[in-house]
Each structure stands twice: as structure tokens, then as C-alpha cells.
Structure 1
Amino acid sequence: MRVGVAGCAGRMGQMLLKTLAAVPGVLVVGGSERRGSPALGMDLGALAGTEPFGITVGDDASVLFENADVVIDFTNPSATAQHAGYAARTGAAHVIGTTGLDSEQVAAVTRAAQRAPIVLAANMSLGVNLLEQVVEQVARILDTEWDVEIVEMHHRHKVDAPSGTALILGEAAARGRGVALRRVAKRSRDGQVGPRVKGEIGFAALRGGDVVGDHTVLFAADGERVEITHKASSREIFARGAVKAVLWAAGKPPGLYSMKDVLGFSVAKPAAD
């Protein structure tokens, strides 16, 4: 299987190169970075901390989609939306781990998925995807007397907030309650904000140090509180999940897929009476 890595010099990109190099039957055929990146021209093996690949970093991601069966993409929202167009043109599978996409960029990815298999996932770890399912189930069981708050912390270099994973967890809680997140989300609080609105789903984003990613969903009622937490101590968990997505996506028909499709699990809704 031929695999390309867009954003290969980033933290996740380097981890992916190292992980992919050890997977039998996978051949890394290219890596790309933004124009002006100091990584341009470097051998991919130097980024992965392995033996030389004999392939250097380029600045044209379209070449990856022309030469690869699957391209994995941890870049930025505008680049990812453009890359989805390359996937649509070539039919190559596109595995997206980029977070912070706005509605127009998601729409561009969705359109591209009509012509290529695309896996879009804010978080590719098994634990977080399990957490998403648990949160949906708990939210379905508990009524709006239980307040929902989502707290996340990441390293000081993260540029989007709340994290994509926090928003996915918010969507899960909203699904469990049968509401649209956009109608009940409270992104931040500052100053004289008044009492908490019943039924809202709150978010708090913390940034500092080298934290890979911590997420806690709190269900708080009078006299008791339930907290469900996932803590990532290494980016390797995301790389392992991403490789699962790469192996799964190759040869799939066009469509927009999630990690639940890749991992093959979901929480079933209760049967109607």
C-alpha cells in the first residue's frame, strides 16, 4: 500500500512516518510541507528518526495524491480543504486528522467525499472514540437537571480552542439529549455572565506546557457529580489510530467516514416500545 503524509514535519507527521515505516506492506511514497518550511529537501527518514527513505520533503501535496493509495493529513484547515479536492480528482483515499475546520471547509471535504473515500476524525485514539460513545449514552440517561461541562487541556502550541475532540464530545452529549450542539453550546464565560442556563453544554480550554491532550466531561447535579476522563500521554496513540484508518480506507468506495467506521463500534439507541 502506497501512503503519503501531508504535514510530514509536524509533531504528528514525524510520528506517523516512524510508525508507518514499521508496518508490513506499507510503503511511504512521499511527504509534503508548506512552502518555506525548513524541512523542505530533507529525507523523510531524518524526520522519522530512522534509516533514510530515499525520498525528500516536497511542497506540492497534489503529487502525494497522484502517487499514493492513501494520504494522511495533519496540516491546517485551509490546506486540508484544498487537499480534499486533490483526493476527489485522483480518487486516492484521504485520512484527515486536522482540527479546527469551519463549516465551509467541512462542506468542501463532504463534497470531495462524493468522489473519494475520506476519513474525517478529530481524534484517532481508541480511548477517545470509546469516550465519545460513553458520553452519548450517559447524556441519554441523565436529564437536564444534570449540567454538562467539557474541560480540555493541551500544550502551549495548540492554535484552536476548544479542541476538535472537545467539540466531538460536546456533539456526543448533544446527540444523547436529542438537541443540536450549536443551540446549547457555551464556548466561554467571562465577567458578569449570570446564572448557568439549564441544558447548556459548557466548554473550558486550558493551554500550557507539553500536555498531549486531556479531556474531561463532567455531569453535575445537586449533591453529586460524574466525571469521565481521557488523558493522552503520547502522540503514538493517535499515530496508531491513524495507521488503522489508513489500512481501513484503502480501496473503500467514496464516502465520508469516521473513526467509528474504522473501529467498527457504536452505541445503539434503545429500541422503541
Structure 2
Amino acid sequence: MGHVLLLLASMLPVPQASLAVMTWNVCTGTNSDCRLYRASAVELAGHIGGRALARRAEVIFLQEFCTGATGTLELWLEQRTGRRWTIGSWGLTGQDGEPYACHPDLLGRPRGAQSIAVAVAGDAVAFETHALPAPPWYVKRAAVCADLPARRVRACGTHLSAGTPYDDHQPGAPYRTKQLQRLLEISAKPGYRSVVGGDLNVSPPDSGYGSAAGRRAVAPFYRLYQECDQRGVRRTGGWTREGKKLDYLFAPKGSVRRCHVERGVTLSDHKPAHIEVTL
């Protein structure tokens, strides 16, 4: 009987390993129109962690976060999961090289610089920060990449120039074009599967809206990767901010198991987006 059970067990399909990733521009730093504006570190940790863990995210990309809340979020995630979490964070600087400060919380406490961050569950994570081309008259831009050797995954998150009159509004979106070219280069690592995304501030190539230059600039990602919310062969996706798709999660083609955009979340002007990929 025991041999029969062992034989049957050996015939059962082995569950395929997967990784869940969330990206969210939390809009807490300087935009008074957002509900998380001037939120405390504890409030931010609760909202971000709650959204991430509800879908079992093990990697989190954040934009318009604050460096002063990094440690609080890390501790919150560790206490709720019983696992080690590590966060790689980069604070924006202005044209003068000074930190681009988050406004204080509602009690007047400083919150550090506005930042991008990548949070990762588990041990042995290596972080890299890569500068991206940016207009010299406004804030600097960068990408944070995390290597997960145990899973052979490289996860890179970023927040690109906004395309506003003060941030890459020139014809041809020259800085976002260069930023995306550089992001494509740094997101690849031999022997690793790449998951890359964040608030890219461009529209999908086949969306029919937004800057044509921005749509062209992001097209190379669709040649190499599958976007979380891609509609078949069409390079589109559901909106993530005010009727337009600006937030992306790219993964190896054929690896996307699930994708979800939390349209019901109204804490930020961007919606959290989630991807689950097979490894």
C-alpha cells in the first residue's frame, strides 16, 4: 500500500514556483490633492503593507514615497509576515543637489526626501541604484534594482520624468526616451529573470492617447517582455491614473500568471498594480 501511495504522489503535478510583485505611486510627498499627502510613516506602512500582503507580494515597487518612512515600512512588513524584509531606497535631489524634501506629516514631523523604493522579502538581496538621464533644471531620476539570487530574479523599479512643462515636455520626450533606453539596459542580467516597472509616465504603444513619442519610447519593452495587463498582442492595458495607463509591470513573455489593478483604492492619484509571475 505504501508503494502505491508513493507512486501516486510522484504522479501529482509539482506546484510551479511564482513571485508576486506590486507597484504603487503612493503620492505622499508633495501633492496636496492626494489622501496620503503628509501621512505619517506608520500610516504609510499600514496602507502600503496592507495592499501588498493582501495579494502576497514579495517585491514592492514604490514611487513618491519618503525616505523617512523606509525603516517603519520594513519593520511593519517583518512583524506582519515573520520574515526578513529589506528595502532599497533612493531619495530624489533637485538641480542644486539638495534633497527633494517630502512635506512634513500632519504633526509637523520631517519625512525625509521624496523617494523611489524596492522592498523585498527574504534573505541575500543585493541592491543597485542606477542614475537615469534627467533634465538638469529639475529633479534627478534613478532606478533601484534588487537581485534575488535564490530565485534568480532581478527586480527594477523606477519613476520617470512626468512630461509636464517643467519636466521633459520638449518635443519627442527626449529624457523619457533616454530613461527608458537606460532602464532596458540595466534591467537585464544574464541567468536572471527580470521584473521591471513603476510609474513610467508614458502611454502604451497601442493606446491611442498620450504623447506619440512616449508611446514609441516604451515599445522596446513589449518586444522583450510581457506587460502585466497587456491585452493579447495589443500593447495596451487598463488605466492606472485618471483614465490612462502610466504604471507598468513587465516580466518574461509567457510568465504572467495573474494581473490586477486595484481601481477601488482612492488613497493616491495612482492605483496599485499587481503581477504574479511563474519562475
TM class, shorter-length: 0.3 to 0.5
Q: TM-score, normalised by structure 1?
A: 0.33
Higher share of residues assigned helix:
1
Q: TM-score, normalised by structure 2?
A: 0.33
